[in-house]
Structure 1
Amino acid sequence: MILLLAVIIVLLATIVIGSQWTAHTPAITGADGKPLPGSIAALEKVKLGGVDQWLIVRGQDVHKPVLLFLSGGPGASEAARVLRFNSELEQHFVVVIWEQRGCGKSYPALNPKAALTVDQYVADLIELTDLLRGRFDEQKIYLVGHSWGTIIGVRAAQQRPDLFHAYVGTSQMVDVQETDQMIYDMVLEHSRQSGDAKFVATLEKQGPPPYFGKSPIQPYATLFGREYALFEAPNIKDPEYRRDGDILMLMLKQPEYGWLDRIYYLLGLMNTFNVVYPQLQEMDFRQDATRLALPAYIVLGRHDMNNPSQIPEEYFNLLEAPSKQLVFFENSGHGMIWEEADKFHSLMVDTVLAETYR
């Protein structure tokens, strides 16, 4: 029995270690099935803020402008969705997906937890931007954030606007605490109106956000999970996203992840969120980020109830920038860049790139 258990453990360890060694991002191929000359498809480890972090770098032409994507979270990686739904961007940009410290392949950079601060994420971002500028011989790059990624995106754009052609904030976060309180009120009212007394009692027991303590993700997951089920999922109109958009299923299949990375992904959702999210409760970009010295594009989903549009639209009206645009995606919610991927690609190429690339 002991010998059998030892054999099983060795086999499992071999599978896990082997999956880590074979993790890769597939080559970009031409019509002949061979790697496209001048393309790049790389899975790379870099040192940022003194710790190892990972990048997925993909583009059909290394001489195209660089686009750095900042996943939502905190503690999550949206790489799998970007790879699945936004591959068209690789025709026009060198797309860099950053696995931030404490999430996905970069989960081991969770430690020290004292470094999991907004300031450190922004410092990592700026350091990464300089690395990319040097590597691809570009004076500036494009910065695209989604959800939590828009928080560190705005901060970096504030500090170093000279590094970026433009800032694109999709599902732009502005005031986390007020937004979450809106979600709480909305879900509570719906639960009352629909006669869901059990969930009303659950919400009343945990009370309105913000939540702190040892594991704040638990009450937030209860709230956000019900919000998604009630208001987001029913409004997903794109059949491809409805079929293939589940982030966990995509993550389990993506070749850039070994089995240890997949465990890291799940751990990041819990542990990094618990450290970082409570730090966001005092932010309000309507007070402290009303000027950006670069072109700014704010992209909102009309059916986004995870980040209702009232607050980001108010922020946009206050925002001063050399140029700015507010774009609503009418047939999508929080995941508008994947739900309406063609519209997002058109925005990035025909508007953002055309207006700002010099």
Structure 2
Amino acid sequence: MITTIAATSAAVLLAAPAVGALGHRAIKRSRNASLMKIDTPNGIDEQGFVSIGGIDQWISVRGEDLANPVVLELHGGPGASTAIFGPRTRSWEKHFTIVRWDMRGALKTLGRSGPEGQGEMTFERIYADAIEVTDHIRVRLGAEKIVLLGHSYGSAFGLRLAREFPERYSAYIGTDQNIHDAGRDDSAHQALLTRLRATGKRKELAAVEALDPDERQWTARQRAMHAKLLATSDPLTLDTMKKVVMGSLWFSPLHSLRELGRFVKGMTISEQITEATTGFDDWAEGTKFELPFFIFQGDKDVLAPPELARRFFDDVQAPVKDFALIEDCSHFAAFRRPERFLELLLTRVRPVVAGEPAGTAGI
């Protein structure tokens, strides 16, 4: 949904003076590689391809202690791998075993067999893949249940998995939580129009005003254009995209220069997946969850407004539920402030899923 921003940022990085930029990148990647080393006796550091849904898909499993709760991340975009944030979230792996998966169409899975080898690129197919990945991880790590963490568009999968399979998951956590309401709430759209008018961006304003009033009628390209303008018109979101997202990809020890372009290409290929969610209504699909339910949202998120997430959360029925705002953050809040996100995981989630008294798992 934010492909153009990523493409522009990638182009700027690749166009930087070769010797200076690449030398600085090499130093930072080396430091990040050292930071990411796991050498604890009961730790795990596995990355590789697993046959999921008939194609090879990349899965990473990392943590300092296999006795810790297992967290399966569902990345957003669609097509935007969270594996690039490994160095930023290294502290999470002291307390949790973190599983990151490049969905079909995303980064390393895309690179494995190319666009023509991704098979069916639909919401339903990736949803089925997510169930298969869940069961693969449960068997591989001997975990009866695992924590499900949905980021951004990945949270659309996450809500549905949490509703349908409480026997597989010990808790659901949504961040940058997408709430679909069949187009009833247009607060993000109206806020975008206000920002574009205030900044005098007439061309962009005309493009947004020309959209059908019913967002369910938008094409995948129109939704991507709208998301791009939501982000680029907001200084905090744009800063996060450039420094946190593309900066993480540039300095990731797991990713090559070639994969800068592949990251962007993956999001472009994956745009078509959003067609399936245009008519989703999370209230109609159900607000009752038979597992602990958490939402941790950026307080200034313009792509997934915290007010909409809060309204949905307030209607949720769950054995345990909790909501928190991550201060001074827009989208990608968990990665802009990873230590704050870890604090929420430790004080609100881990005591529930690990049966520990609140406040005993310090950072």
Please, what TM-score do these two structures have when normalized by structure 2? 0.79
Say if 2:258 is the partner of 1:267: no
Matches of 2:51 and 2:149, distance apart in 1: 21
Tell me which of 30, 45, 49 is aligned to 1:45.
49
Structure 2 equivalent of residue 249 of structure 1: 247
Kindly tell me: are residues 182 and 112 of structure 1, through their superposed partners in 2, closer, same or farther at Cα, counting changes over 3 Å? farther
Matches of 2:263 and 2:277, distance apart in 1: 21
Say if 2:125 is the partner of 1:120: yes
Kindly tell me: are residues 102 and 196 of structure 1, through their superposed partners in 2, closer, same or farther at Cα, counting changes over 3 Å? closer
Q: How many residues align?
A: 321
Matches of 1:114 and 1:138, distance apart in 2: 29
Structure 1 equivalent of residue 156 of structure 2: 151
Structure 1 equivalent of residue 174 of structure 2: 169
Say if 2:327 is the partner of 1:330: yes
Tell me which of 95, 119, 122 is aligned to 2:98.
95
Which residue type is aligned with residue 347 of structure 1? L
Structure 1 residue 181: Cα displacement: 4.0
Q: For 1:342, what is the secondary structure of its paired residue?
A: helix
Q: Is the 8 A contact 1:175 1:283 kept in 2?
A: yes
Structure 2 equivalent of residue 315 of structure 1: 312
Which residue type is aligned with residue 314 of structure 1? R
Matches of 2:156 and 2:243, distance apart in 1: 27
Structure 1 residue 186: Cα displacement: 1.7
Q: For 1:322, what is the secondary structure of its paired residue?
A: coil
Matches of 2:69 and 2:281, distance apart in 1: 31
Q: For 2:127, what is the secondary structure of its paired residue?
A: helix
Structure 2 equivalent of residue 3 of structure 1: none
Unaligned runs of 5+ in 2: 1-31, 356-363
Structure 2 equivalent of residue 288 of structure 1: 285
Q: For 1:55, what is the secondary structure of its paired residue?
A: strand
Q: For 2:288, what is the secondary structure of its paired residue?
A: coil
Q: Is the 8 A contact 1:232 1:304 kept in 2?
A: no
Structure 1 residue 188: Cα displacement: 1.6
Kindly tell me: are residues 112 and 315 of structure 1, through their superposed partners in 2, closer, same or farther at Cα, counting changes over 3 Å? farther
Q: Is the 8 A contact 1:300 1:328 kept in 2?
A: yes
Matches of 1:85 and 1:135, distance apart in 2: 26
For residues 33-112 of structure 1, the aligned pairs below 5 Å read 35-81=39-85, 83-107=86-110, 108=113
Structure 2 equivalent of residue 20 of structure 1: none
Matches of 1:110 and 1:158, distance apart in 2: 31
Choose 1 or 2 for highest CA Rg. 1
Kindly tell me: are residues 312 and 232 of structure 1, through their superposed partners in 2, closer, same or farther at Cα, counting changes over 3 Å? farther
Tell me which of 350, 353, 356 is aligned to 1:356.
353
Kindly tell me: are residues 173 and 36 of structure 1, through their superposed partners in 2, closer, same or farther at Cα, counting changes over 3 Å? same
Q: What are the superposed Cα offsets for residues 99-125 of structure 1, whole Å, 9 maximum, x if unpaired? A: 111111112475577732222222211
Structure 1 equivalent of residue 202 of structure 2: 197
Structure 2 equivalent of residue 301 of structure 1: 298
Tell me which of 183, 189, 193 is aligned to 1:188.
193
Kindly tell me: are residues 196 and 232 of structure 1, through their superposed partners in 2, closer, same or farther at Cα, counting changes over 3 Å? closer
Which residue type is aligned with residue 208 of structure 2? L
Kindly tell me: are residues 211 and 254 of structure 1, through their superposed partners in 2, closer, same or farther at Cα, counting changes over 3 Å? farther
Structure 2 equivalent of residue 6 of structure 1: none
Moved over 6 A (4+): 27-30
Please, what TM-score do these two structures have when normalized by structure 1? 0.80
Say if 2:130 is the partner of 1:133: no
Two-structure CA RMSD over aligned residues (Å) = 2.7
Which residue type is aligned with residue 223 of structure 1? H
Q: For 1:88, what is the secondary structure of its paired residue?
A: helix
Which residue type is aligned with residue 91 of structure 2? E
Q: Is the 8 A contact 1:316 1:326 kept in 2?
A: yes
Q: Is the 8 A contact 2:174 2:295 kept in 1?
A: yes
Structure 1 residue 64: Cα displacement: 2.0
Q: Is the 8 A contact 2:237 2:331 kept in 1?
A: no
Q: For 1:321, what is the secondary structure of its paired residue?
A: coil
Identical-residue share of aligned pairs (%):
26
Unaligned runs of 5+ in 1: 1-24
